Amino acid sequence: MKNQKERRTIRRYSDREVSEEMLNGILERAMRAPTCGNMQLYSVVVTRTEEGKKRLAPAHFNQPMVTSAPVVLTVCADFNRFTRWCELRSANPGYDNFLSFMNALADASIFAQQIVNEAEAEGLGTCYLGTVTYNAAQVAEILDLPTLCVPVACITLGWPDEEGVPTERLPLRAVVHEEKYRADSDAQVLDLFKEKEEFEPNKGYVTENGKETLAQVFTDIRYPRAMNEDFSAKFIEYLRKARFFK
């Protein structure tokens, strides 16, 4: 397995096929990941056909990876299967609520990352598409997802046709807190983000967008309040239709 400090997101893929045997092996190994109560509250929809990828592309803002990758995986937080089993075995399930969604979300997220780990160990490249929750209802309709089954992660996967671009990370001290959450001073917070702000590509984003700081690129361009609130409202409404939110 490659050094995870050197891992890179891959957005361009070769035409080389990812065999069904390899993909199934990756998914089977990923299923050994931890799961809430051993309920395995996840499912994955595998999209390989050109038609299927073209149908999904608009829901992901037509990012080129969706149609160019050999495989697109949509990982779902899924309580539908477990609920149906309970009903068929004379049990009364109580999983149409937000806590159950959070449990299924955790299961699906761990499963998705395990897929990425296993795929990259095989030499494949991967890329998460953050757009899946922006247009969850649209993705669900395209993939015929039932109630209590919500798409929460999308991964493109294939043999790399690029080396990928290295990205910066916060220092370890930014995320590790000993015993209790550490209250950093303003100066300490700024120091935690110093390397990120000095990363050359990030400095370029600031200039390209006519901003004064990298933080403004995030708040004004990439993830502005209006967009966050709009997609939040849509996602909550979809969770209601999916029976997870009342």
Q: pLDDT tens for residues 114-152?
A: 999 999 999 999 999 999 999 999 999 999 999 999 999
% the chain with pLDDT above 90: 93
Q: pLDDT tens for residues 90-109?
A: 999 999 999 999 999 999 99
8 Å CB contact between 68 and 206: no
List domains and CATH numbers for the chain.
8-164 (3.40.109.10)
Q: pLDDT tens for residues 187-223?
A: 999 999 999 999 999 999 999 999 999 999 999 999 9
Q: What are the strands, taking DSSP E only, across the chain?
A: 42-47, 71-78, 125-128, 149-158
pLDDT for res 7? 81
Element (H, E) at 73: strand 71-78
**Gyration radius of the chain's alpha carbons:** 20
Beta strands at 71-78 and 42-47: parallel, antiparallel or unpaired? antiparallel
pTM attached to this predicted model = 0.94
